[in-house]
C-alpha cells in the first residue's frame, strides 16, 4: 500500500513536539517518529527570537525524522498566542431554485457572505470554523436538497497578527520545510482531549501550556468559541520565584514537587523545606505560601476564560463539563480549582489509549491533534470540501495574501 508521510509540529513556549506518521491509502495513520525537546525563542506562545526558535525547530524535526527513518514531506503546524482573536460571523442566502430546495450555490453564497468580513491590514484569517446550518431558523446538518426559504450559516472565525504568521512561515521557509496548513492549538488539542459524545453534549476544553492557555468550547459537536490566554505554567513558576525569592529552576521544582492549585487551611500547618538560592542554606516555610501563590494565579486563568465566554459558560449547555489538558494540568487539585472558578464540573482529559505510552501525557494533546488534522485534511482534499475549494488549504490563501511562495 502506498503511503505518504505527514508531520505535525507544535512549537510551544516550553517544548517543541514533532510527530511523523505514515498515512496509508485506506487512511490509517501510523506514527513512526517523534521528538520532543526544549523550545527556545518562544515566549508566552509567541515567536520572539527567530534564530533560537529556528535552531530548535530544525533540531527537533531532524531528530524526529531520524527516529522515523524518513523525511517528512509536508508539515502541519499548530498556532497559539495572545494575538489570536475570534468572532462569530453570519452569512445568509435566500433559496434561489424554483423548486424551493437548497442547492449547492445557495450554500456557497451563504458561506461566502459569512467569510466576507474584511480585516484590518495587519491581520489575516487563520481558520473559519463552521457552525451548523440553519434553514428557516432550524438547525440542519446537511441542508442540500431540503425545502427552505432561507439558509444561514455561522462561522467562528479566528484571525491572527499577520506579522507573527509570516514570521512562522519564514522560519519554515528558511529550513526548506513546506507547511501544508496551520491549525489553531486550541482546536487541535480539544480534538484529542474529548471524544465525540462529549463534543456533542457540549464541553469546554482548556489546554494549559507553559506559555499560554488555549481553550475551545463545543456545543452540539461544533466549536463555537476558541481563545488564548497568554498565561501559563511559566507564570506559575515565576510567581513562586518572586514570592519565595527563588531562582526559576528551583521554583519550577517546587511547583512540580509540592505545588497545589488550591489553598487549604491545613497547608499553614505543614512545613516544607526549600534549598536556598546561594550558599545560605536550607529554608523552611509553610506550604500555605506555595498554595496561596498558585491558587491566586490558577483562579485568575480560569476566571479570564470565564469572562471571555460569558453566558456560554453554563453547566446546562456543557454536559461534557470542563476538560483540562496541557502540561500544567498535572498540577495537583487543578480540577477542583477549575470547577470552583468556572462553576462547571471539571476533570482531566483521559489518557489516549491509541498512542504509545510516552505520548499519553497531557502535554502531547496539541501535537497529536495537529497530526490528526493533517490526516483529516488529506482526506478532505480528496472528498473536496467546499471550504478548501479555493486552493490547497487555508495556507494557500494566506500565502497569496502575503505573496510568499507555497
Point out which residues bind another protein (CB under 8 A): 43-44, 48, 81-88, 158-159, 161, 225-231, 234-235, 237-239, 241-248, 271, 276-281, 283-286, 288-289, 292-293, 296-297, 299-300, 304, 308-309
Q: Which is nearer to another protein, 12 or 86 (CB)?
A: 86
Please report how close the Cβ of residue 406 comes to another protein at its closest, in angstroms.
25
Please report how close the Cβ of residue 238 comes to another protein at its closest, in angstroms.
4
Residue 72, Cβ density class (10 Å: 0-12 exposed, 13-18 middle, ≥19 buried): buried
Please report how close the Cβ of residue 158 comes to another protein at its closest, in angstroms.
6
Q: Which is nearer to another protein, 238 or 339 (CB)?
A: 238
Q: Which is nearer to another protein, 109 or 297 (CB)?
A: 297
Residue 229's H or E segment, with its range, is: strand 222-229
Q: Which is nearer to another protein, 29 or 208 (CB)?
A: 208
* Angle (CA) 110 199 377, round 5°: 60
Please report how close the Cβ of residue 318 comes to another protein at its closest, in angstroms.
16
Q: At 176, list the grid cell.
A: 526548506
Q: Which is nearer to another protein, 54 or 288 (CB)?
A: 288
Kindly report the three-state secondary structure assignment for every residue of 95-119.
Answer: CCCCCCECCHHHHHHHHHHHCCCCC
Please report how close the Cβ of residue 355 comes to another protein at its closest, in angstroms.
29
Q: Which is nearer to another protein, 62 or 167 (CB)?
A: 167
Cα-to-chain-centroid distance, residue 404? 25
Q: Are 28 and 376 in contact (CB under 8 A)?
A: no
Which backbone phi and psi does 346 adopt, to 5 degrees? Answer: -125, 150
Please report how close the Cβ of residue 4 comes to another protein at its closest, in angstroms.
32
Q: At 336, list the grid cell.
A: 477542583
Residue 121, CA distances (Å) to 112, 182, 401 in order: 20, 20, 10
Amino acid at each position: 500500500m502506498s503511503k505518504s508521510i505527514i508531520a505535525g509540529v507544535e512549537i510551544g513556549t516550553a517544548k517543541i513536539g514533532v510527530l511523523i506518521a505514515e498515512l496509508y491509502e485506506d487512511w490509517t495513520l501510523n506514527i513512526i517518529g517523534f521528538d520532543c525537546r526544549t523550545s527556545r525563542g518562544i515566549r508566552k506562545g509567541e515567536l520572539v527570537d527567530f534564530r533560537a526558535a529556528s535552531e530548535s525547530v530544525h533540531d527537533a524535526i531532524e531528530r524526529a525524522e531520524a527516529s522515523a527513518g524518513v523525511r517528512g514531506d509536508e508539515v502541519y503546524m499548530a498556532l497559539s498566542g495572545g494575538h489570536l482573536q475570534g468572532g462569530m460571523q453570519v452569512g445568509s442566502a435566500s433559496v434561489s431554485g424554483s423548486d424551493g430546495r437548497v442547492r449547492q450555490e445557495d450554500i456557497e453564497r451563504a458561506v461566502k457572505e459569512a467569510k466576507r468580513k474584511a480585516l484590518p491590514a495587519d491581520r489575516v484569517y487563520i481558520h473559519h470554523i463552521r457552525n451548523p446550518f440553519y434553514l428557516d431558523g432550524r438547525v440542519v446538518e446537511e441542508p442540500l436538497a431540503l425545502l427552505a426559504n432561507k439558509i444561514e450559516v455561522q462561522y467562528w472565525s479566528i484571525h491572527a497578527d499577520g506579522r507573527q504568521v509570516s514570521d512562522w512561515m519564514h522560519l519554515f521557509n528558511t529550513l526548506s520545510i513546506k507547511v501544508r496548513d496551520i491549525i489553531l492549538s486550541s482546536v487541535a488539542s480539544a480534538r484529542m482531549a474529548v471524544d465525540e459524545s462529549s463534543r456533542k453534549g457540549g464541553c469546554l476544553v482548556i489546554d494549559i501550556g507553559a506559555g499560554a492557555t488555549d481553550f475551545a468550547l463545543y456545543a452540539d459537536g461544533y466549536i463555537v468559541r476558541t481563545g488564548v490566554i497568554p498565561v501559563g505554567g511559566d507564570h506559575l513558576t515565576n510567581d513562586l520565584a518572586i514570592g519565595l525569592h527563588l531562582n526559576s529552576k528551583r521554583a519550577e521544582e517546587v511547583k512540580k514537587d509540592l505545588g497545589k492549585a488550591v489553598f487549604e487551611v491545613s497547608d499553614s500547618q505543614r512545613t516544607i523545606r526549600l534549598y536556598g538560592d546561594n550558599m545560605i542554606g536550607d529554608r523552611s516555610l509553610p506550604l500555605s505560601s506555595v498554595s496561596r501563590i498558585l491558587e491566586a494565579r490558577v483562579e485568575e486563568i480560569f476566571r479570564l476564560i470565564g469572562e471571555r465566554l460569558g453566558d456560554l459558560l453554563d453547566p446546562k449547555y456543557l454536559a461534557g463539563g470542563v476538560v483540562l489538558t496541557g502540561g500544567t494540568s498535572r498540577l495537583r487539585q487543578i480540577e477542583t480549582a477549575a470547577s470552583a472558578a468556572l462553576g462547571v464540573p471539571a476533570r482531566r482529559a483521559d489518557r489516549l489509549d491509541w498512542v504509545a505510552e510516552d505520548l499519553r501525557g497531557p502535554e502531547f494533546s496539541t501535537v497529536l491533534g495537529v497530526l490528526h488534522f493533517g490526516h483529516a485534511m488529506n482526506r478532505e482534499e480528496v472528498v473536496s470540501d467546499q471550504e478548501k475549494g479555493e486552493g490547497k488549504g487555508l495556507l494557500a490563501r494566506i500565502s497569496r495574501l502575503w505573496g510568499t511562495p507555497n
